[in-house]
A and B are shown apart, each in its own frame.
Chain A
Amino acid sequence: MKKVININFQGRVIPIEETAYDILKQYVDSLRRFFANEEGRDEIINDIEGRIAELFGESLKKGDTCITDDTVNKIIASMGRPEDFEGEESNVKSQLGGEGNKQQYNSGYNAFANDPRGRLYRNDTDKLLGGVCSGIANYLRVDPTIVRLVFALMVFGAGTGVLLYILLWIILPSKPLVSNISSKRLYRNPDEKVIAGVASGISAYFDIAVWIPRLIFALPLVSGIVSSIFRHSFWWDGDPFPGVVFGSFGGTLFVVYAILWAVIPEANSASEKLEMRGEKVDLNTIKNTIQEDLEGFKSRAEKWGGEVGEKAQEWSKDFTQTVNEKGKHFSSEVNYAARKTSGGVFKIIGFIFKAFFLFIAGIIAFALLVALLAFLVAGIGVFPLKNFFLEGFWQNFLAWSTLLLFLGVPVIGFITWLIRRIMGVKSGNKSVGLTIAGMWVLGLISAGILAFMIAENFDARARDKQQLTITQPASGKLIIKVPDSKVKVYGRWFKMDGLLSITDDSLFLNNVRIHLVKSNDSLFHMEATKYSNGSNESAALRNIKEMNYGINQQDSTIWLDRGFSLQRGTKFRNQGVVVTIHIPIGKRILIDRTVQRRLNHFDVNNGRNDWDSDEDWNDNYGWDSDVEYKMTAGGLERSDKKVKTVDESQNDEDNSNQGALDNFKKSKEDLKKEFEKKQKEVEDLKKELEKPIDSTQYHYKKATANNAPAATKTPEATTQLEDILDSHMLLMQMVL
């Protein structure tokens, strides 16, 4: 029992079994696909359909009630399936393709009659630019993609590819050629893609699992993640991602992907998809492919969208299309040949645009990930310090949940997503995503609470002023230095301004600032102001009590402590020290380079508790290290001479400066002496020249027998000498 339907076929109503209709439909579709690239496709299909309709009519005339599977199959057999005329077609095409002029027919005919390999041509039927690559591929009987790849690589090898290509473009004649490779071809797979289907196309070509090429392409990303972790661990202030993305290894793979994208064609039609997998193109396989396509489409529709890569790609695709269309429109007005070529050029420009946009999108996504990782690593880095920051169980708990949930979860989520994409795993159920999102929100909340609680601990601020006794320098000049620490700590896990070192039970801070003010009397004074935050006044004061900061004096040099330490149990509450130096009028001060290098000022809540605006600090002066200043009635002034930078190992600066000055003076005197000597010589020469000309001439002639123009040169020589003299005088004036 079979269902019979009526179809309108070529203007006739035909009663046909439903199954027979399916067969017919599939057949016509397969033909349509087979002739997809044919110029007169619709006409050919129409002719064939017309003939089939005629045969149907004959069958019905014979007395059949309807068209059966059998009839359809018989007709199809006599018409031939695409796979049957595959071989014949290709040859027919070679004779008839292209513009259809007589010469081409003949040459095609002859080419067939003789050696089909024949000569090297540019391929007119399959080309990106001038068809050079596919022509060579045709000659060598390899996949054009491979030849294109070789050329693309040659472009990067000092651009030889470009020259060679242009040369071949000029030399080789163009001819429509037929693809003569029957095996697998390298295509991009549009059904299974993360970016452009390059990796899955490669996997189809080499018969390997799709995740292998994907992993290789994703390697720079993975290695970037790893290296960024390391970078962040050791150089906190580094900016790793340009290095990762543009780094030689990562960059190369990005470029390779972009080239492959541009060079490998996308498998769009069913037969191309089969060629990609190396399967024989026949109706059944085409049918299977189409069914797969539909299923793939269905599942793809269910995929969660909004992925950056795809968005970017879509956009760039639109853009490419517009560019292509615009370009084609414009150039079609020029002439036919130009249009063909520029079409190719625009295609390539389009590819470049595509790759470029994707590259940008990739960088943005990558930067986001790295930023997240940076936060995570920073969090881990700060963790050894947590005992100095946090108070009690709750803060510790919140710190952990912040670190794990707020920072860790997105990173893990992203990595999972990446791995799934690489492995081609379809996204799982929604609840996983929701759980992850929920955990992240929890992390966000705990981060907020933690920030609030820590801020509470910094609420109040106290300071304690303490006089430091110094003896007045005999020279009237004070030099401020900071000694080298005896213990040097290398390979710090984490480096932060103001923090010098951390050991198990103490935190060493060098949060020290120097203020210079005018002294009220004729003496130098120094005082250290220690300050700290705390949850309340008394807590802040308690924190101050723990701090110890002092100085040492050696004649006119004052050595400041490198910092102060916080014992375990004392919390870090933005402790700091301000050393105030009162300078009497007429006295000088020099702050050594070591001060700026070894003391490091920072202030956590600078804006809120601005002690700088206290009345005490109003007359504070700015200073540069290694510059000698003199206090005047009007304020701090630079001494006239900029003191030469002295190596810090040299303690006796004055002497070395004196030495330098002495050297200078000595060399000056030497110069003077030399000048006087030269002057004398010149005078002598001048005198000689001023003697009666005849004798001079004679003298010169005698001295240099061959020097005929010597006589005429004499006056010139005189002026030259005078010039030299003048310049010497000028030099002398400058020196003195």
Chain B
Amino acid sequence: MDIQNTQSQMRKGVLEFCILSIIRQGEVYPSDLVDRMRAANLHILEGTLYPLLTRLKNAGLLTYRWVESNSGPPRKYFVMTDLGLEFYGELERTWKELADAVHTLTQPAEEQPAELSTEETQPQP
């Protein structure tokens, strides 16, 4: 069993959830989003983020507005829609269940997902 593969699988599973949770807090520019995730020690390639955002937008979970920029072409700022909020709510519930389950099961030795959950879920009201 490839440990790296398992780790990346674990990360990827919550990627979408994390992205949505950041956008939920307010309008965001993709590259800022990457920075914030990086700051939280969750690495994502920008090249991966754009298609993901586009798909979420096409699914009606996100929307965006153009903002003029002085350093380049106009920027796309992403905002969450009502549908996105609803979707996020469900994801959050699932995540809490999962995190609790993982936490309970891995009590003696704490694992990566548990660590992530504390970081990512705390900012939520």
Q: State yes or no: do A and B come from one complex.
A: yes
Report the nearest A residue to B34, measured CB to CB.
A78
8 A Cβ contacts from B71-110 to A: 71-76, 86-87, 90-91, 94, 98
Bound CA–CA A61/B15 (angstroms): 33
Bound CA–CA A10/B74 (angstroms): 9
Bound CA–CA A57/B54 (angstroms): 24
CB distance from A186 to the nearest CB of B (A): 26
Instruction: Tell me if B16 counts as interface (CB < 8 A to partner A).
Output: yes
CB distance from A586 to the nearest CB of B (A): 106
Report the nearest B residue to A95, measured CB to CB.
B16
CB distance from B83 to the nearest CB of A (A): 8
A contact residues around B9 at 8 Å (CB): 91, 112
Instruction: Tell me if B8 counts as interface (CB < 8 A to partner A).
Output: yes
Binds B, one of A99-107, A323-331, A520-528, A701-709: A99-107
B contact residues around A79 at 8 Å (CB): 45-47
Contact of A96 among B47, B59, B76, B98 (CB under 8 A): B59
Residue in B31, B51, B57 with the greatest tally of chain A CB atoms within 10 Å: B51
Query: Contact: A44 with B72, CB < 8 Å?
Result: no
Instruction: Tell me if B6 counts as interface (CB < 8 A to partner A).
Output: no
Binds B, one of A46-54, A492-500, A531-539: A46-54
Report the nearest A residue to B59, measured CB to CB.
A100
Query: Contact: B90 with A106, CB < 8 Å?
Result: yes
Instruction: Tell me if A364 counts as interface (CB < 8 A to partner B).
Output: no
Query: Contact: B54 with A40, CB < 8 Å?
Result: yes
CB distance from B4 to the nearest CB of A (A): 10
Query: Contact: B76 with A50, CB < 8 Å?
Result: yes
CB distance from B120 to the nearest CB of A (A): 16
Report the nearest A residue to B15, measured CB to CB.
A92
CB distance from A52 to the nearest CB of B (A): 9
CB distance from A504 to the nearest CB of B (A): 83
CB distance from A73 to the nearest CB of B (A): 14
Contacts A79-B46, A112-B13 given; does A12 touch B73 at CB 8 Å? yes
Contacts A53-B72, A92-B15 given; does A84 touch B45 at CB 8 Å? yes
A contact residues around B75 at 8 Å (CB): 50, 54
B contact residues around A92 at 8 Å (CB): 12, 15-16, 48, 51-52, 55
Instruction: Tell me if A302 counts as interface (CB < 8 A to partner B).
Output: no
A contact residues around B59 at 8 Å (CB): 96, 100, 105
Query: Contact: B8 with A88, CB < 8 Å?
Result: yes
B contact residues around A31 at 8 Å (CB): 47
B contact residues around A96 at 8 Å (CB): 16, 52, 55-56, 59
A interface SS class: helix
Bound CA–CA A487/B75 (angstroms): 103
Bound CA–CA A97/B12 (angstroms): 15
Query: Contact: B54 with A91, CB < 8 Å?
Result: no
Instruction: Tell me if B58 counts as interface (CB < 8 A to partner A).
Output: yes
CB distance from A64 to the nearest CB of B (A): 14
Bound CA–CA A346/B57 (angstroms): 33
B contact residues around A57 at 8 Å (CB): 71-72
A contact residues around B47 at 8 Å (CB): 31, 48, 79-82, 84-85
Instruction: Tell me if A456 counts as interface (CB < 8 A to partner B).
Output: no
Query: Contact: A10 with B73, CB < 8 Å?
Result: yes
Query: Contact: B53 with A88, CB < 8 Å?
Result: no
Query: Contact: A106 with B94, CB < 8 Å?
Result: yes
8 A Cβ contacts from A78-131 to B: 78-82, 84-85, 87-89, 91-92, 95-97, 100, 102, 105-106, 109-110, 112-113
Instruction: Tell me if A607 counts as interface (CB < 8 A to partner B).
Output: no
28 contacts between A and B (CB under 8 A): A10-B72, A10-B73, A35-B51, A40-B54, A40-B57, A44-B54, A50-B74, A51-B31, A53-B73, A57-B72, A79-B45, A81-B47, A84-B45, A84-B47, A85-B48, A88-B48, A89-B48, A91-B12, A92-B15, A96-B52, A97-B55, A100-B59, A102-B87, A105-B59, A110-B94, A112-B9, A112-B13, A113-B98
